[in-house]
A and B are shown apart, each in its own frame.
Chain A
């Protein structure tokens, strides 16, 4: 555990020492802010329209602003995650620093967990930073914070799962660009698998749809804490890290 923390800390500091963390933080905040502003403007316009027409339909900040916003959040993750995870092992392999880690009195599991933790923490940090926008909703409105937190948990879980896959892919190559491209492809594929459910209901379609990360995000998105879907994400994380461990082992046997 101590070693995991040592490695995690170094990873985090190297994220912030290179421009990548700051760049992602800035880009994400700008895009998130823009989307937030758009949803909010539309919400306000709708409210004003209805007031002018004298209709009094119930309006809900949670449903009309927060939910679509966090839905977009999980979508934006597709682009951010490959950029976070690409360097984890690929850079070490290129620079030869992997030789230091692999010959230090540290278990492979500790190395992998440390790196994955660092990536997940950075991702959480990016999201939380963007979520500062919500302060305005709480200041001027009265949203329900419980579904908000649950949806955020969904975003984190989804990110952590995709990062575990990205970590695995990063062990396969020395080239960060290839790692990023492959991770992006894998994330996108896991995303669009869910589309099959709209026209097909065979067993295969159900399996594919179950594999999709977005299927399991729906319940979190609705503000429902579902153990079943949480377990899906946890098992993807486990599987991703398990494959990473196997890949590192094969690195030792082959290289």
Chain B
């Protein structure tokens, strides 16, 4: 649906976006992630034909953003960072205006207006002046104007910025529910948002694309290996911590173990294994056969936050300290120094 090749935007002194390439399939929700000033908005503005790229090519629904901007704009719904509302208008009046601007008219226009009022849950404020609406409502009106002409592609620039937690959830659900009919790119710097709403992620930093993958793969990739958290305990007596660790270490496929947390009658170990090796069953069996209790066994997923910091940190040192701060203090160094930047492909 969207193909971007070597897209570059240079301003007088700075390069805001530096040769980024990616593509998005129809119906996907893609999270566009990066710190402030990384070039997210610039990229989105190029895709929406707000301004042309300095170099490179981007096509949306088969139309080039530079050659056929009008065709592209017909197929794009765009919600900028601040919703583009004419504050002196009423909600319904505003939506009609945008609808007409996007080429709708007559009963079709009225139907679409009624549809988006309902879909974005703003029907109760349809005759209210936009200047009187709360931030959450404004954001939803912004979303409503973006989908009014039923575009193939939706581009949302920080759709949940400045909303309260309840509104964030509602907006997220709304975005997710739109996914089937629309291809969505949304930018954000809130990581859980991406984990919850998006299928894949583009991480951009200082104008460069540092990673592009599905959320799931990205987590695995940042690890370079798979790791499990095993909570082992005994019902009575002293917990043989060293023996348990040694036993876990002997399981075929396990490349490393570390004691993460110890308590009176048990401990949590982190067990690393090479990617693709399924050691869960062996782990469980080993613990149970040795007569210990297996209280918990779960994969330890690195949060996107850690990946993000790792990939966008200005140098390795800040990245690993930041990641270590986010993780429990006893985290072994092996996991923070995961080989990541191969993701650059």
Contacts and interface: CB of A to CB of B under 8 A. Distances in A.
B101 A103 contact: no
A7 B100 CA distance: 9
Interface residues of A, number: 25
Interface of B: 11-12, 45, 48-52, 70-71, 73-74, 76, 78, 80-82, 84-89, 93, 97-98, 100-103, 145
A241 B73 CA distance: 24
A228 interface: no
Contacts of A17: 88-89
5 contacts: A18-B88, A100-B101, A102-B50, A104-B73, A254-B11
A252 interface: yes
Contacts of A64: none
3 interchain residue pairs of minimum CB distance: A100-B84, A17-B88, A105-B73
Contacts of A7: 101
Contacts of A104: 73, 98, 101-102
Contacts of B85: 95, 97
Given A10-B86, A14-B89, A103 B50 contact: yes
Interface string A226-255: 000000000000000000000000001111
Contacts of A215: none
A254 B10 CA distance: 9
Interface of A: 3, 6-7, 10, 13-14, 17-18, 95-107, 252-255
A15 to B, nearest CB: 10
B89 A103 contact: no
Given A252-B50, A255-B51, 20 more contacts: A3-B101, A10-B86, A13-B89, A14-B89, A17-B88, A95-B87, A96-B84, A99-B45, A99-B84, A100-B78, A100-B145, A102-B49, A103-B49, A103-B76, A104-B98, A105-B71, A105-B102, A107-B70, A254-B11, A254-B12
B156 to A, nearest CB: 13
Contact of B84 (A10, A95, A255): A95
Nearest to B11: A254
B101 A6 contact: yes
